[in-house]
Structure 1
Amino acid sequence: MDTENDLAALLRRQDGVVSRAQALACGLTRAAIDHRLARGLWTLLWPCVYLSAAHALGPRVRVRAASLWLGPGATLIGAGAAWWWRLLEEPPEVLRFAVPPERRVRSRIDVKVVRRALEGARTILHGVPVVPKAYAVVDAAAELGLHGGAALMDRALLSGRVTLESLRRAHRSRLGRPGSAIVARLLALAAGGARSEAERRAHDLLRAAGITGWLADHHVVLPGYGTAVLDLAFPAVRVVVEIDGWAYHRDLPAFRRDHARQNALVLAGWTVLRIDWHQIEGDPDAILALVEAALVA
């Protein structure tokens, strides 16, 4: 056994993190471990989990260290799992891990432990036990709430890394847990309800703001294109608000049709504004300001 080379390879694979059991398995003695700690070559992160001084303490280190501390029976879930799958840009402040119901371990400040039987719904990703992608998206969406969950689910579906049916199966497996109602609503929006809800919300916004002169589903004939049905039009000033649902619904043919239609509208003298469900739900005041600016331009 080549202790130093084996240990160096392990540290590279694990972002500089190693457990006491792993170090001993590589051939290090307990005295050698204590020597590294005493000289500052290693830092104690969790009980019996160390970080090499040659590696920075970053988000990946946090995940690995918590996973090693909790042991092989623990599984990364929630927003942390979605981030580990690279479906979220930033990791959560608090990582969540599921452990078997009979396990007795306390949560810490930045690690929340939940007792949950996953019934085999786990995989090993870059050396860390984690729930599958679809389960991670659904669990994280419940954790992030309506707006954050919608952005995550839309991004995951658009990437093609999960399907709507896989998300539905994952949702069924966690029915009754916190956030189930939010996930159910998000799945309904993802199935096609986002666009109709966005249209309804846009109409409500304009009415509440006292903005008039608009027509929904307005038909116009465009030279070189034909008849187009405009989502929300101000015919007197030739301003149209095109309303989208979620990004993942816009496949390449639809994208090209949208471009051809938008170009035809611009050539016919229309000002085209595009908004979507995420914008309407996230910042309705900005939508109103955009429309008002277009009407007076």
Structure 2
Amino acid sequence: MIEDLLGRHDGVITGIQARGAGLSQDAIERRVRSGSWRRCSRGVFFADDRPFTDAARIRAAAWAHGDRATTSGLAAAWWLDLTRFAPDQVEVTVPRASNHPRRPGVRLRRRDLDPTDVSERNGLRVTALPLTVVEAAVRRGGGPKLMDAALQRHVELRTLWTAHLRNKGRHGSPAARRLLQAASDGARSEAERLLVSLMKQAGVTGWKTNYPVAGYEVDVAFARSRVAIEVDGLAFHSDADTFQRDRIRQNAIALAGWQVLRFTWIDLTEYPDRVLAEIRRATSGLRVGTRAHRG
């Protein structure tokens, strides 16, 4: 039973689990003294005959804070396969009334989670997928890409809003609300406001918003250089009908003799310098070609 537990739990085991599998406290201590088990924290051990992987590190960090501790943030995102790389610091959410000390490599969040917002995967308590997405997307190293990918493959927008509203006031809540608004029905207008703000701060002039071209209103137009800019919110291309309509619109604008640049919310938030450089190049008369969305 001990080897089975260690195999399923990345080499990590708690004293309670070990005693439940038949080991006495003395037997546990003998393993520690012999070096076959490493003590990670009080009551949490690692069998040192295997690599101490990221999964073992995250599991040991969470279990060090008791059976009510829940892995959250980017650590939960990695555990749920939303991100490729495990974070250096493990975020753990514990009940508000808990008195666990802070540990190196762990960021504690103290709040009481609704049972709906907790799930279990491979024997570890983690925040449920919707809450994980809205929290991890605003952590350093998360970003709009995480939410965009989740919306396209894993979750519906309404479930993200529900999880967000159920957890208002948590760390990062205002930033999560802005991302959710960018993915909502007003996604295009949210992204347009972001582009306008970006251009104003950079001193770019000569443009108008909602400018008529070929029977459509383009988001931002430089009429003198005949450059049209179209912007999209998060996961705009998850709707096939919208995707097709946007392509018909873009082709009509291009056939009317306008150069079309297309930017996504991720372009505007992650690569603003590149966006501005492409706008300046296009409006200066140097053709850059029609820019389709980079899926």
- The match for 2:10 among 7, 15, 26 is 15
Q: Which residue of 1 aligns with 2:69?
A: 74
The change in CA–CA distance for 1:70 and 1:286 in structure 2 (over 3 A counts) is same
Q: Is the 8 A contact 2:236 2:243 kept in 1?
A: no
Query: Do residues 285 (structure 1) and 273 (structure 2) align?
Result: yes
Q: Which residue of 1 aligns with 2:193?
A: 200
The change in CA–CA distance for 1:130 and 1:148 in structure 2 (over 3 A counts) is closer
The change in CA–CA distance for 1:207 and 1:172 in structure 2 (over 3 A counts) is closer
What SS is found at the alignment partner of 2:45? strand
1:106 shift after superposition: 1.1
The change in CA–CA distance for 1:131 and 1:208 in structure 2 (over 3 A counts) is closer
The change in CA–CA distance for 1:114 and 1:219 in structure 2 (over 3 A counts) is closer
1:252 shift after superposition: 1.7
What SS is found at the alignment partner of 1:103? coil
**Aligned Cα RMSD in Å?**
3.1
The change in CA–CA distance for 1:114 and 1:290 in structure 2 (over 3 A counts) is closer
> Hey, what's the Cα distance between the residues in 2 that align with 1:178 and 1:208?
28
Query: Do residues 258 (structure 1) and 246 (structure 2) align?
Result: yes
What SS is found at the alignment partner of 1:90? coil
TM norm structure 2: 0.79
Give the aligned residue type for 2:146: L
1:270 shift after superposition: 4.7
Q: Is the 8 A contact 1:149 1:186 kept in 2?
A: no
Structure having the larger proportion of residues in helix: 1
What SS is found at the alignment partner of 1:176? coil
Q: Is the 8 A contact 1:157 1:248 kept in 2?
A: no
Give the aligned residue type for 1:140: A
What SS is found at the alignment partner of 1:192? coil
What SS is found at the alignment partner of 2:261? strand
Q: Is the 8 A contact 1:80 1:96 kept in 2?
A: yes
> Hey, what's the Cα distance between the residues in 2 that align with 1:98 and 1:205?
36
Q: Which residue of 2 aligns with 1:111?
A: 106
Q: Is the 8 A contact 2:181 2:190 kept in 1?
A: no
> Hey, what's the Cα distance between the residues in 1 that align with 2:212 and 2:115?
54
> Hey, what's the Cα distance between the residues in 1 that align with 2:187 and 2:10?
41
- The match for 2:219 among 231, 238, 246 is 231
Query: Identity of aligned pairs, percent?
Result: 38
Unaligned runs of 5+ in 1: 1-5, 222-226
Query: Do residues 140 (structure 1) and 128 (structure 2) align?
Result: no
Range that drifts further, 203-212 or 83-92: 203-212
Unaligned runs of 5+ in 2: 287-295
The change in CA–CA distance for 1:219 and 1:162 in structure 2 (over 3 A counts) is same
Q: Which residue of 1 aligns with 2:79?
A: 84
> Hey, what's the Cα distance between the residues in 1 that align with 2:60 and 2:200?
53
> Hey, what's the Cα distance between the residues in 2 that align with 1:56 and 1:249?
41
The C-alpha deviation readout for 1:91-150, integer Å capped at 9, x for no partner, is 3333233333443321212223444322423221111112221222333345x27x9454
> Hey, what's the Cα distance between the residues in 2 that align with 1:44 and 1:204?
53
1:72 shift after superposition: 1.8
Q: Is the 8 A contact 1:106 1:113 kept in 2?
A: no
What SS is found at the alignment partner of 2:64? helix
How many residues align? The count is 284
> Hey, what's the Cα distance between the residues in 2 that align with 1:208 and 1:150?
21
- The match for 1:245 among 218, 229, 233 is 233
Q: Is the 8 A contact 2:227 2:259 kept in 1?
A: yes
What SS is found at the alignment partner of 1:45? strand
